[in-house]
């Protein structure tokens, strides 16, 4: 019958971030739906359209994306998941979509003709669409390694021109000033489209948190309350498998008791992907809500034991100084022969228990870090040989440029305060600059006759390289020169295998040849590389050398504050940076939502996160009304 969830107040901080306050959780989620719709109504409706596999109604080129949504039955599974939830959670999803409907009714002129119906299970489908990449990534990698031709879209993130990444750190009182515990969470994902993020704080009598949701979703994967915070980085245990069966035209098979869609056909064989998350969509939503209610690292650890969160590295900290690392995921217990693409004789026998997943309770050396590196780089206490291979699921000791820089900073840290931690979190320094600059100086000194033949302009270009401080800051002309030189190195016309060897050896002829071939551009870095809004960009990534067999990730040089540019415009990076500090005064946090606050990003800033009504200005109070069961 028609009814109301009570009164809700939507406030805004000076950053534009909404804080939603209500007595009832459903009323607060009504306000969240309303706020999301106010901030990006068309983007939100496009998310719902994709969940329904109808995005081609708005974008005629989206047929392959719709096909993939149907392949994975995202809409049907979201509806089934919604129907399985407790009544109280169902009420919240109804309220959330009613809040969107409230905004739709206010601005009918902004509602596109293709707008879908606002069914309460669609927010669940948004999270499913986003998380699908991680829960099938292992199977997709096995198929590609075997040379199997895949459809244009097998997941939304898989279709983007970047490798997903993230930074996450914890510093305990051992290494901080005034006994503080500090957590940094910085996911590296595409800006906008299906990965558009929305930041908000929810304040109710029973639930109080702040976090980042994917636009159109109700519950966040990245959040904190006043007692516990967590961050996630891409990388996790091996959770999915690809199976090869005779091709008899089937759309899907039942493997390991789970619907496993066929994603490719080749040479008389059909290839299906089996994911242990296929029937876990509702469990994932209930786990996300339980994480928001956790009041300590210990409680969060218990919630993570449900293993419904997608495979990720999770780092956490709480107000009592406790910390945690878990390489979480639902990991099948496979037969010993189960490598590569499997056959139907290689089925699973349950799942690894929570204690079998790579984890570390506490941080004996005072820090935890993961920047998409192997689990044994998180802290010195973690050893690869102590864990099941499918739980560790990486090359022991493997580092990235960001993890090497993180260990360099954190392992020697003493008396760190939030100002220093913030400077590290937004650092736009290319970490390998000193080594390459020294190698170039040595190459120039070793061949004076060659250098003497350079033009005045080319010699000045080399001087710029030798005086570069490593910072890809908006005002730096030297950063523009450095990127041109490193691009010329990576694109040297040479056999890829040999070029890899030359790059790794910092071969003098290679370095000097790149100086001679590089395109000289004297513009500041931020004039060449911009945010979509036109704000100056910073902190870009570039390829170091051609990838080779055995590389787990592309060979990239990426600052801690990562940005990915295409044709001079940022398309990905850190859309949801969060810094959280627990100390004797309580909890304080700072954040940066991109691309919305590109202005602050260009200045290297983070903004205070509103957690209480006093942190905001009043905007609107109204009844949260809709269909209530």
The residue from 559, 587, 605 where one domain ends is 559
Same domain, 339 and 463: no
The residue from 509, 525, 559 where one domain ends is 559
Same domain, 472 and 365: no
Same domain, 360 and 476: no
Mean pLDDT of 26-44: 97
Q: Is 209 helix (H, G, I), strand (E, B) or coil?
A: strand
For residue 568, is it within any domain?
no
For residue 391, is it within any domain?
yes
Planar angle of CA 257, 262, 267, nearest 5 degrees = 125
Residues constituting the chain: 629
Same domain, 441 and 392: no
Mean pLDDT of 524-543: 95
pLDDT score at 194: 94
pLDDT score at 4: 83
pLDDT score at 151: 96
For residue 564, is it within any domain?
no
Same domain, 550 and 491: yes
For residue 566, is it within any domain?
no
Same domain, 555 and 608: no
Q: Is the pLDDT of residue 1 over 50?
A: no
Pick the more confident residue, 621 or 377.
Answer: 377
Q: Is the pLDDT of residue 535 over 60?
A: yes
Q: Is the pLDDT of residue 115 over 80?
A: yes
Contact between 346 and 338 (Cβ < 8 Å): yes
Planar angle of CA 591, 222, 578, nearest 5 degrees = 20
pLDDT score at 221: 94
Q: Is the pLDDT of residue 188 over 90?
A: yes
pLDDT in tens, 453-483: 999 999 999 999 999 999 999 999 999 999 9
Mean pLDDT of 167-185: 96
Share of the chain above pLDDT 70, in %: 98
- Which one-letter DSSP state was computed for residue 383? -
The CA distance from 286 to 308, in Å, is 9
Measured CA distances, 282 to 84, 85, 163, 494 (Å): 7, 7, 28, 52
Q: Which residue is listed with tokens 């270009």?
A: 461
Banded pLDDT at 2 (limits 50, 70, 90): very low
Same domain, 448 and 419: no
CATH classification at residue 249: 3.60.20.10
Same domain, 448 and 341: no
Share of the chain above pLDDT 90, in %: 93
Query: Quick one: residue 616, left, alpha or beta (phi over 0 = left, psi -120 to 50 = alpha)?
Result: beta
Range of the domain at 108: 2-425+576-627
Q: Which residue is listed with tokens 């904190």?
A: 224
The CA distance from 578 to 230, in Å, is 10
Q: Which of 153-162, 217-226, 617-626 has the highest mean pLDDT?
A: 217-226
pLDDT in tens, 207-227: 999 999 999 999 999 999 999
Same domain, 527 and 621: no
Mean pLDDT of 118-122: 98
The CA distance from 596 to 46, in Å, is 18
For residue 443, is it within any domain?
yes
pLDDT score at 545: 84
Same domain, 399 and 465: no
pLDDT score at 248: 96
For residue 20, is it within any domain?
yes
Contact between 168 and 185 (Cβ < 8 Å): yes
Q: Is 245 helix (H, G, I), strand (E, B) or coil?
A: strand
Residue 103: name the closest of 190, 40, 54, 197 by CA: 40
pLDDT in tens, 548-603: 766 666 688 999 999 999 999 999 999 999 999 999 999 999 999 999 999 999 99
pLDDT score at 518: 97
Same domain, 55 and 203: yes
Mean pLDDT of 240-253: 97
Read out DSSP for 564-609?
EEETTEEEEE-TEEEEEEEETTEEEEEEEETTTTHHHHHTT--EEP
Average pLDDT, the chain: 95
For residue 311, is it within any domain?
yes
pLDDT in tens, 271-310: 999 999 999 999 999 999 999 999 999 999 999 999 999 9
Same domain, 410 and 495: no
The residue from 512, 529, 559 where one domain ends is 559
For residue 570, is it within any domain?
no
Banded pLDDT at 372 (limits 50, 70, 90): very high
Q: Which residue is listed with tokens 């993180």?
A: 406
| Total count of domains within the chain | 2
pLDDT score at 552: 62
- Which residues are registered as beta bridge partners of 536? 530
């Amino acid at each position: 019958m028609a009814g109301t969830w009570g009164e809700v107040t939507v406030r805004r901080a000076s950053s534009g971030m909404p804080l939603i306050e209500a007595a009832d959780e459903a009323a607060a989620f009504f306000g969240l739906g309303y706020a999301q719709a106010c901030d990006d109504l068309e983007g939100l409706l496009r998310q719902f359209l994709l969940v329904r596999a109808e995005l081609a109604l708005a974008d005629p080129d989206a047929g392959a994306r719709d096909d993939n949504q149907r392949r994975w039955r995202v809409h049907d599974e979201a509806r089934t998941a919604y129907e399985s939830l407790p009544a109280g959670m169902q009420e919240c999803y109804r309220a959330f979509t009613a809040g969107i409907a409230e905004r739709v009714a206010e601005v009918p002129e902004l509602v596109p003709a293709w707008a879908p119906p606002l069914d309460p299970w669609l927010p669940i489908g948004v999270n499913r669409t986003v998380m699908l990449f991680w829960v099938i990534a292992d199977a997709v990698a096995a198929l590609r390694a075997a040379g199997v031709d895949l459809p244009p879209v097998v997941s939304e993130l898989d279709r983007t021109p970047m490798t997903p990444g993230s930074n996450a750190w914890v510093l305990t009182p051992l290494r901080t000033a005034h006994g503080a515990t500090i957590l940094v969470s910085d996911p590296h994902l595409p800006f906008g489209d299906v990965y558009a993020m929305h930041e908000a704080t929810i304040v109710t009598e029973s639930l109080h948190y702040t976090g980042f949701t994917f636009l159109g979703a109700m519950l966040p994967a990245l959040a904190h309350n006043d007692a516990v915070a967590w961050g996630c980085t891409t990388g996790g245990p091996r959770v999915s498998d690809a199976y090869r069966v005779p091709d008899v035209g089937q759309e899907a098979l039942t493997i390991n008791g789970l619907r496993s869609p066929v994603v490719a056909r080749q040479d008389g064989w059909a290839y299906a992907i089996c994911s242990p998350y296929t029937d876990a969509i509702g469990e994932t939503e209930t786990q996300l809500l339980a994480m928001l209610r956790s009041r300590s690292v210990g409680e969060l650890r218990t919630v993570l034991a449900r293993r419904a969160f997608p495979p990720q590295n999770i780092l956490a900290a709480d107000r009592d100084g406790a910390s945690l690392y878990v390489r979480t995921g639902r990991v099948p217990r496979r037969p010993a022969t189960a490598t590569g693409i499997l056959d139907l004789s290689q089925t699973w026998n349950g799942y690894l228990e929570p204690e079998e997943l790579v984890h570390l309770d506490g941080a004996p050396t005072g820090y935890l870090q993961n920047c998409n590196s192997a689990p044994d780089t998180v802290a010195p206490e973690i050893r690869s040989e102590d864990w099941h291979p499918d739980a560790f699921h990486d090359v022991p000791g493997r580092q990235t440029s960001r993890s090497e820089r993180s260990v360099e900073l954190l392992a020697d840290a003493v008396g760190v305060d939030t100002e220093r931690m913030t400077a590290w979190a937004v650092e736009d320094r290319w970490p390998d600059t000193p080594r390459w600059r020294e190698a170039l100086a040595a190459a120039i000194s070793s061949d004076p006759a060659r250098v003497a033949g350079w033009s005045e302009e080319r010699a000045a270009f080399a001087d710029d390289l030798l005086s570069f401080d490593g910072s890809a800051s908006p005002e730096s002309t030297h950063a523009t020169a450095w990127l041109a030189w490193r691009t010329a190195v990576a694109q040297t016309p040479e056999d890829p295998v040999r070029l890899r060897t030359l790059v790794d050896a910092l071969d003098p002829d290679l370095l000097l040849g790149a100086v001679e071939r590089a395109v000289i551009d004297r513009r500041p870095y931020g004039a060449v590389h911009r945010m979509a809004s036109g704000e100056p960009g910073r902190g870009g990534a570039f390829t170091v050398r051609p990838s080779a067999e055995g590389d787990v990730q592309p060979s990239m040089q990426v600052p801690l504050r990562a940005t990915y540019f295409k044709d001079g415009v940022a398309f990905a990076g850190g859309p949801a940076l969060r810094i959280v500090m627990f100390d004797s005064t309580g909890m304080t946090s700072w954040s940066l939502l991109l691309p919305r606050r590109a202005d602050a990003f260009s200045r290297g800033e983070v903004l205070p996160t509103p957690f209480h009504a006093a942190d905001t200005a009043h905007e609107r109070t109204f009844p949260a009304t809709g269909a209530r069961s």
